[in-house]
Structure 1
Amino acid sequence: MENVERNIGEPIGEVSFNGSKLGISNGLNKFQLKTETFFVKKGYILLIIGFLLGRALILSKLTPFALPFFAAVYMVRREKAPLALIGLVAGAATLSVIDAAYTFIVTFLFLFLLRVSKKLLQSEIRALPFYVFGTLLLGKLGKSYILTNQVSLYDGMMAGVEASLGFILTLIFLQSIPLISVNKRRQSLKTEEIVCLIIMLASIMTGTIGWSVYDLSVEHIMSRYLVLVFAFVAGATVGSTVGVVTGLIFSLANVSSFYHMSLLAFSGLLGGLLKEGKKIGVAIGLFIATLLIGMYGEGSGNLLNTFLETAAAVVLFLLTPQALTSKLAKYIPGTPEYTAEQQQYMRKMRDVTAQRVEQFSSVFQALSNSFSSYDEQNEWDDKERELDFFLSNVTEKTCQTCFKKEHCWTRNFNTTYDYMKDIMTEMDQNNGAVSPKLSREWDKHCTKSKKVIDAVYQELSLYQANQKLKKQVQESRKLVADQLLGVSTVMGDFAKEIQRERDNHHKQEELILEALQEFGIHIEQVEIYSLEQGNVDIDMTIPFCNGHGECEKLIAPMLSDILGETIIVNSEECSTYPNGFCHVTFRSAKAYAVDTGVAHAAKDGGFISGDSYSTIELGCGKYAVAISDGMGNGERAHIESKETLELLQKILQSGIEEKVAIKSVNSVLSLRTTDEIFSTLDLAMIDLQNASVRFLKIGSTPSFIKRGNKVIKIQASNLPMGIIQEFDVDVVSDQLKAGDLLIMMSDGVFEGPKHVENYDLWMKRKIGELATDDPQQVADLIMEEVIRSRSGFIEDDMTVVVTKVKHNTPRWSTIPMQKYRQKAN
């Protein structure tokens, strides 16, 4: 046992040591929590603040802080107002008994006026500064009259000054008291809230005027400590602001402290500039400011005391816990802690949003599964059940009153059931007819064979209608299941996109900025959103270029060389005036590009064609070409085909897979109207990264691919959209190459040539004879050939869309940036 204890002694010691550190940490946390509860939640900090503000003076005789502070506490935390009043009266008593009595009487007068006119007020907070102004004016004039039995012009002016200060201080305290009295608050401070808080802290410190420790002024130590804290937390801007505001309020309280404003402002500026050196750097800034300003302020005689006061402030600053400064920094915009807090908040919101989207995705997935859960076994059972119900209806009308019922259905149940089932099946398959053989056998078996056959025929129409309706319901269930599954997939992808962490590209932004500026191009700002290969996304702000095309000619080629892939100008917003800025977005170029040519004509040369076409550039690197031919001609057919393409475009741009999109469009068209208005659809989806293409043809004519002298026919057979609710979409896939021509046409073009028996061979021959590869010229020539074969007559709506696939070659060559390319990689 001793050996075991000796062997495990060291780990036990280590654990004990760690446990002691953990115990100290827990003890500090408990002490901090108890202190926060005592001062903040119970409100005793208001007692301390009230004491200091009660004895704070302006111009050595005015006390404008007491009533505004009490009024603000009365509005914000009414239950803690007695504590504030006790502190104010106690602080005023340190000045004189008359000041203590004056503070109490003025507070009582304020409460009396507020209570009397409370019913007349719509908003107490808005009226509060005016009540404070009036109360202080009356109180100050009354005090002067009681003490001197007269009110001079000077007394009136001082009363007006104190009342005006009270009006302003009320507004300031209403902003700042919630910041120190409420435990939980939002994670940001407005600029005016920061200024109000600084003014309040400086006003509180004026209550320490006259206090000294070993001939060192307490107000000087505390004011410099305050500047040190804010300069360390928020930088030079806030630090110098705190110095100016604090020094100004101290100079109003004591004219001899006027030079102190320069010292505080200069120390806040230097300390903020040296904050990269942590607390030591900020402290050095205060020492430098003390030495420089101290020599010019009161001369070298008091320099030692000033230096010692600075040293005392630095000691307090160094003893300030890091947790306190970090917590304060979280509330001040512009600090790294505030940025980290905001990023954490945004990350939390992003995760919550992604989680909710994933939950919705799973809900749609479950709904899709529930709609598609109808299996073959259930379908077979339902058919057997419906057949039994059908035969029971027939027997109820025929066999119930027959004298041979017991013979047929009790002794020969299976034989009778099979005969009636065969009769129903043959009638269903042969449009109500029964084969002679089965009819003869049924006559031998049944004494009322003709009546039974007539009853089966009558019930069969209801059975068929019921089966048709049930089939439509099943098809609708399947369609809804596919649509829900598509929505679930889109939402799942969206949730993954939300959760994708957006990287910080500060180094790359600086690198690109340096490269462009070294090249002589002035760039105002660079923001990188993505550097993923094939998905680069960069925004730039540049000065007005006067239309010289710097972005396309210089910046994009330089970015292409730095990033190692072709970068193009995706969008450009140029300034409308010479001194403005242009905003440019650079994106990755696709491996392939397309050019499109279109030729179309209406029947008999009219203005409205029943054909519609669309070219859709989808955000996922795909390019869609579609032709829709509405049934018939004229405006109604044009509206039908146009709405088909618009609905398809919206569904495709939402990210839903094209087969589900086409089925959804077909469902809408088939359910939208009872008129026999249908439309065809010819859709080609081209992937611009690898030039693969998917054809989805719904009742449309063949398409052709011209590759050099070779012509390839693309064909699929599907009914036009809107005829039936459920159909299988035939998808034909192919691989395009650079230089290929994809030719799509409506039936007015394909079947347009006159006196032609084989349209396929005629169209292939005409396409093969084309001597040009320009898409627009090809479309025009095909249209011209078809119209010429008809002797100039246009007997149907005609549309030809020709798409040429080519390599995406940038207009400008890359500009070598070897040094920066290595750094970027």
Structure 2
Amino acid sequence: MERIERNLSGPIAEVDIGKTQDTVTKWFHRIQAKIVNLFLLKGLLLVVVGFLLGRALILNELTPFALPFFASVFMMKKGKAGLAMAAVIAGSFTLSADVTVFTFLSIVFFLVIYKVLKRFKVDLIKALPTLVLIASAIAKVGVLYVTQGTITIHDGVMIGVGSGLAFILTLIFLQSVPLLTERRRRQSFKTEEVICLIILIASVLTGTMGWLVYEMSVSNVLSRYVVLLFAFVAGATIGSTVGVVTGLILSLANVTSLYQMSLLAFSGLLGGLLKEGKKGGVALGLIVGTLLIGLYGEGASQIIPTLYESVVAILLFLLTPRSLISKVAKNIPGTPEHHAEQQQYLRKVRDVTASRVSQFSTVFEALSNSFSEYGYPIDEEDKDREVDLFLSNVTEKTCQSCFKKEACWSKNFNKTYDYMKDIMHGCDTNSLQYNHKLTRDWDKHCVRSKKVIDAIEQELTYYQANQKLKKQVKESRKLVAEQLLGVSQVMSDFAKEIQREGENHHVLEEQILDALQAFGIQIGHVEIYSVEQGNVDIELSIPYCNGSGECEKLIAPMLSDILEETILVKSEECSAYPNGFCHVTLGSAKAYVLETGVAHAAKGGGLVSGDSYSTIELGVGKHAVAISDGMGNGERAHYESNETLELLKKILQSGIEEKVAIKSVNSILSLRTTDEIFSTLDLAVIDLQDASAKFLKIGSTPSYIKRGDTISKIQASNLPMGIIEDFEVEVVDEQLKAGDLLIMMSDGIFEGPKHVENYDMWMKRKIKEIQTKEPQEVADLIMEEVIRTRSGQIEDDMTVVVTKIKHNTPKWAAIPAYGYHKTKSKAI
């Protein structure tokens, strides 16, 4: 029996409980959806709000809320205007007949003025507050004149005050009414919308004035509940603001409730400060505020009813579902829920963007495949078909009218076809005149042998032109395919970079801030964007330092110890005034740095050289050095070489691979002009993390690496850029070391020495003889030696660029951060 009971209370019971919970959840969501549909879509919420605003009375005689509310609903949700009108009239009916007549007449006058102005095409949204003011004033004057027969000065003042309040409330309701009618909207309110919503809630609470339940004021209970809710959600600032606004509007409705403003404001402030204690802390703030302000306001005799009202408000607050509180919090700027919602939205945008970029990458890859040689394969059948078409054109001109046509093509088809095919090949290779056997055999076989050969030679001209065009199209297609594939790879890498989850470094920021302040360094703020090894990116602000170098000497060395890698100051913006802050950007130091020296001279000592050079920071831990030599001299050569480097710079900085970048530049140069203007390119791309280098030489002279007394040559054979559209780029890989000198030069330097047969040996010897290791001095000495061999004459444009590879040694050693635990940073 016990075993049966255990079995019944086991998995079966758990399944039943799970099904029951699912059923309850479904029913709950269904009921919630029906309530939302009833209040928002059907307009029940507008009816409730309109009813309470219709009976809201301030200063014992003014009802300025009804007409602004109806006008706002009429402009924003015209389909619900009838419900709003009925609600405000019903609410005013609970006050008196005069108020009901005034409300009805003010709405009628508003509609009449609205219809009149609509014919004149006036911007009615901007004019709405003025329309409400005029309609309210006219209706009030009419009611007072009919009921009293005269209008006193007091009546005139109250008419002005009521109309002015209606004008202001219209501006407020125009921003807050849409919040009551839209089911789905953006996730955050503006600050103005939050304030307007608070004023609307306080105005609605005014409509409950005079309602008592067990001697407790409904308006007091609800106002304290609203203050508790906003203080718990948004903290002390919003809580105290809600208390002040709500208390002020309630005190206007009933002057004896003036102390409520102090109670609500103080309770909102105290509850917001105690929100870390969850709902209990906020509730304690209201209790303390009620006790203090209650005793001060009405004495000990009234403290018990006031305390009861606060207790009921707290009970309502404790019974408020967490889901409702979370929804309110998501819409209030500055709350953690709002921040999390914004982060979720940003992640969604990031994922969508990455997905789109990835899709574009796939599209470009597919386009590359379609343009590649695999997209249009050329097999043997296509070649045979082209030969058949060629021979058919020849036979149409020669064999159609021949009397031996039947004998040649019907009886000896294969023999005739092979002969003509061999003759075609001989004419194509210019070897037919040497193939006497073929010509003799063909003379015996064909009675029009000479005519057929002439026809083949004539037709071959068109055939060769056609083949050349097809080859160019194939080469262009291949070039486009490579470029599209390069773009696809860049976009794919970009998509992966976007999809990388942004890490939350706030804990590490706090720890770094504490460590620096414990050392005695005052810090404004710290923002960490990346702590990836070799790619650290940190921004911080410090008080005005008067150029003392505090960041370079103290902060960067301490961060080097904390992050266990060398950190340097990347940029520093010092404040222009003593009370301001200096903003500093710090990042990882590269393992190697480059020092460059350049010697440059134009032909004949002119001002414009056909040579151009550039040092390019690629932004991915790589550095490029390039020399381009335009064909000839003067402005046109300078323009070509400079344009080559500018194009290369832009394409390389986009992230495209070096070989694809060079081919892209070459295709642009070859297609841009039909003039025979060419450019050479000498490119070295050096990785600053491991000092590895790639050399790409397009028609350029050799480069040299000096390591101690050893001189090594870097050379590759490629035609200058712009000559042909398709060429293979030869890449030379070399491993550089600290202390190496990389010497790159144009042909004016390499071939400049006079009476020298072996330029390579002469250049190696001169480089080896140079004692200095300063790049600029080496460049100047090489230039001077070449010019000296020419007796001081500069026969060609000359450029030499010398780059020295050095270890990156920081000026300041790491400073131990004793107040920081490195185990935490590892966990992060």
Instruction: Tell me the equivalent position of 1:415.
Output: 415
Q: Report Cα offsets for 1:570-628 as digits up to 9, x if no partner.
A: 12222223322222111111111111110011111111110001110101111111110
Matched, 1:321 2:321: yes
Instruction: Tell me the equivalent position of 1:28.
Output: 28
C-alpha separation in 2, matches of 1:135 and 1:265:
35
Instruction: Tell me the equivalent position of 1:545.
Output: 545
Instruction: Tell me the equivalent position of 1:586.
Output: 586
The DSSP-based 3-state class of the residue aligned with 1:378 is coil
Instruction: Tell me the equivalent position of 2:656.
Output: 656
Against the structure 1 CA distance between its residues 4 and 619, is the aligned structure 2 distance closer, same or farther, given a 3 Å change threshold? farther
Instruction: Tell me the equivalent position of 2:808.
Output: 808
Instruction: Tell me the equivalent position of 2:722.
Output: 722
Instruction: Name the amino acid aligned to 1:201.
Output: I
Q: Report Cα offsets for 1:9-36 as digits up to 9, x if no partner.
A: 6212111112212222222211111111
Against the structure 1 CA distance between its residues 432 and 247, is the aligned structure 2 distance closer, same or farther, given a 3 Å change threshold? farther
**Residue correspondence of structure 1 range 587-666 to structure 2 within 5 A:** 587-666=587-666
The DSSP-based 3-state class of the residue aligned with 1:400 is coil
Instruction: Name the amino acid aligned to 1:824.
Output: S
C-alpha separation in 1, matches of 2:394 and 2:663:
40
Instruction: Tell me the equivalent position of 1:88.
Output: 88
- Conservation of the 8 A alpha-carbon contact between 2:515 and 2:818: no
- CA apart distance, 1:511: 1.2
Instruction: Tell me the equivalent position of 2:799.
Output: 799
- The more displaced of 12-21 and 813-822 is 813-822
- Conservation of the 8 A alpha-carbon contact between 1:563 and 1:821: no
The DSSP-based 3-state class of the residue aligned with 1:208 is coil
Instruction: Name the amino acid aligned to 2:825.
Output: A
- Conservation of the 8 A alpha-carbon contact between 1:702 and 1:716: yes
Residue segments in structure 1 that go unaligned for 5+ positions in a row = none
C-alpha separation in 2, matches of 1:569 and 1:430:
70
Instruction: Tell me the equivalent position of 2:101.
Output: 101
- CA apart distance, 1:431: 7.5
Instruction: Tell me the equivalent position of 1:255.
Output: 255
C-alpha separation in 1, matches of 2:5 and 2:405:
98
The DSSP-based 3-state class of the residue aligned with 1:820 is coil
- Conservation of the 8 A alpha-carbon contact between 1:432 and 1:457: no
- CA apart distance, 1:122: 2.1
C-alpha separation in 2, matches of 1:376 and 1:767:
52
- CA apart distance, 1:263: 0.4
- CA apart distance, 1:382: 2.6
Q: Report Cα offsets for 1:445-464 as digits up to 9, x if no partner.
A: 22211111111111111111
Residue segments in structure 2 that go unaligned for 5+ positions in a row = none
Q: Report Cα offsets for 1:769-796 as digits up to 9, x if no partner.
A: 1101111111111111111111111111
The DSSP-based 3-state class of the residue aligned with 1:675 is coil
Instruction: Tell me the equivalent position of 2:753.
Output: 753
Instruction: Tell me the equivalent position of 1:711.
Output: 711
C-alpha separation in 2, matches of 1:330 and 1:742:
60
Against the structure 1 CA distance between its residues 755 and 581, is the aligned structure 2 distance closer, same or farther, given a 3 Å change threshold? same
- CA apart distance, 1:282: 0.6
C-alpha separation in 2, matches of 1:461 and 1:741:
54
The DSSP-based 3-state class of the residue aligned with 2:614 is strand
Instruction: Name the amino acid aligned to 2:623.
Output: Y
C-alpha separation in 2, matches of 1:33 and 1:377:
61
Instruction: Tell me the equivalent position of 1:824.
Output: 825
Against the structure 1 CA distance between its residues 730 and 328, is the aligned structure 2 distance closer, same or farther, given a 3 Å change threshold? same
The DSSP-based 3-state class of the residue aligned with 1:809 is coil
- The more displaced of 232-241 and 15-24 is 15-24
The DSSP-based 3-state class of the residue aligned with 2:207 is helix
C-alpha separation in 2, matches of 1:567 and 1:431:
72
- Conservation of the 8 A alpha-carbon contact between 2:202 and 2:250: yes
- CA apart distance, 1:39: 1.3
Task: Let me know the Cα RMSD of the aligned residues.
Answer: 1.6
- CA apart distance, 1:441: 2.2
- CA apart distance, 1:432: 7.3
Instruction: Tell me the equivalent position of 1:170.
Output: 170
- Conservation of the 8 A alpha-carbon contact between 1:175 and 1:196: yes
Instruction: Tell me the equivalent position of 2:183.
Output: 183
- CA apart distance, 1:535: 0.9
- Conservation of the 8 A alpha-carbon contact between 1:592 and 1:688: yes
- Conservation of the 8 A alpha-carbon contact between 1:561 and 1:821: no
- CA apart distance, 1:3: 9.5
**Residue correspondence of structure 1 range 201-280 to structure 2 within 5 A:** 201-280=201-280
Instruction: Tell me the equivalent position of 1:17.
Output: 17
- Conservation of the 8 A alpha-carbon contact between 1:427 and 1:434: no
- The more displaced of 46-55 and 329-338 is 46-55
Instruction: Tell me the equivalent position of 1:786.
Output: 786
Instruction: Name the amino acid aligned to 2:267.
Output: S
- Conservation of the 8 A alpha-carbon contact between 2:373 and 2:474: no
C-alpha separation in 1, matches of 2:384 and 2:779:
58
C-alpha separation in 2, matches of 1:460 and 1:683:
43
- CA apart distance, 1:375: 7.0
Q: Report Cα offsets for 1:288-326 as digits up to 9, x if no partner.
A: 111111111111111111111100100111111111111
**Residue correspondence of structure 1 range 687-698 to structure 2 within 5 A:** 687-698=687-698
- CA apart distance, 1:434: 5.0
Q: Report Cα offsets for 1:715-772 as digits up to 9, x if no partner.
A: 1001111111101111111100110011010111001111111111111111111101
**Residue correspondence of structure 1 range 299-378 to structure 2 within 5 A:** 299-374=299-374, 378=378
- CA apart distance, 1:97: 2.2
- The more displaced of 400-409 and 611-620 is 400-409
- The more displaced of 453-462 and 262-271 is 453-462
- Conservation of the 8 A alpha-carbon contact between 1:235 and 1:272: yes
C-alpha separation in 2, matches of 1:4 and 1:409:
100
The DSSP-based 3-state class of the residue aligned with 1:674 is coil
Instruction: Tell me the equivalent position of 1:141.
Output: 141
C-alpha separation in 1, matches of 2:432 and 2:639:
42
C-alpha separation in 2, matches of 1:129 and 1:643:
62
Against the structure 1 CA distance between its residues 784 and 238, is the aligned structure 2 distance closer, same or farther, given a 3 Å change threshold? same
The DSSP-based 3-state class of the residue aligned with 1:570 is strand
**Residue correspondence of structure 1 range 364-763 to structure 2 within 5 A:** 364-374=364-374, 378-430=378-430, 433-763=433-763
C-alpha separation in 1, matches of 2:87 and 2:351:
48
Instruction: Name the amino acid aligned to 1:612.
Output: S
- CA apart distance, 1:142: 1.7
Instruction: Tell me the equivalent position of 1:128.
Output: 128
- Conservation of the 8 A alpha-carbon contact between 1:263 and 1:294: yes
- Conservation of the 8 A alpha-carbon contact between 1:593 and 1:805: yes
- Conservation of the 8 A alpha-carbon contact between 2:515 and 2:819: no
Instruction: Name the amino acid aligned to 1:20.
Output: T
Instruction: Name the amino acid aligned to 1:186.
Output: R
Q: Report Cα offsets for 1:178-208 as digits up to 9, x if no partner.
A: 1011111111111111111111110111111
Instruction: Name the amino acid aligned to 2:138.
Output: L
The DSSP-based 3-state class of the residue aligned with 1:662 is helix
> How many residues were matched structurally?
824
- Conservation of the 8 A alpha-carbon contact between 2:390 and 2:459: yes
C-alpha separation in 2, matches of 1:431 and 1:328:
91
- CA apart distance, 1:819: 4.2
- CA apart distance, 1:106: 2.1
Matched, 1:282 2:279: no
- CA apart distance, 1:121: 3.8
Instruction: Tell me the equivalent position of 1:75.
Output: 75
- CA apart distance, 1:84: 1.6
C-alpha separation in 2, matches of 1:818 and 1:467:
76
The DSSP-based 3-state class of the residue aligned with 2:269 is helix
C-alpha separation in 1, matches of 2:390 and 2:8:
86
The DSSP-based 3-state class of the residue aligned with 1:414 is helix
Q: Report Cα offsets for 1:43-96 as digits up to 9, x if no partner.
A: 011111121111111101111111111111111222222222222222212212
- Conservation of the 8 A alpha-carbon contact between 1:627 and 1:746: yes
- CA apart distance, 1:171: 1.0
- CA apart distance, 1:403: 1.5
- Conservation of the 8 A alpha-carbon contact between 2:514 and 2:819: no
The DSSP-based 3-state class of the residue aligned with 1:401 is coil
Instruction: Tell me the equivalent position of 2:160.
Output: 160
C-alpha separation in 1, matches of 2:695 and 2:463:
39
The DSSP-based 3-state class of the residue aligned with 1:151 is coil
C-alpha separation in 1, matches of 2:272 and 2:479:
66
Instruction: Name the amino acid aligned to 2:290.
Output: T
C-alpha separation in 2, matches of 1:379 and 1:543:
74
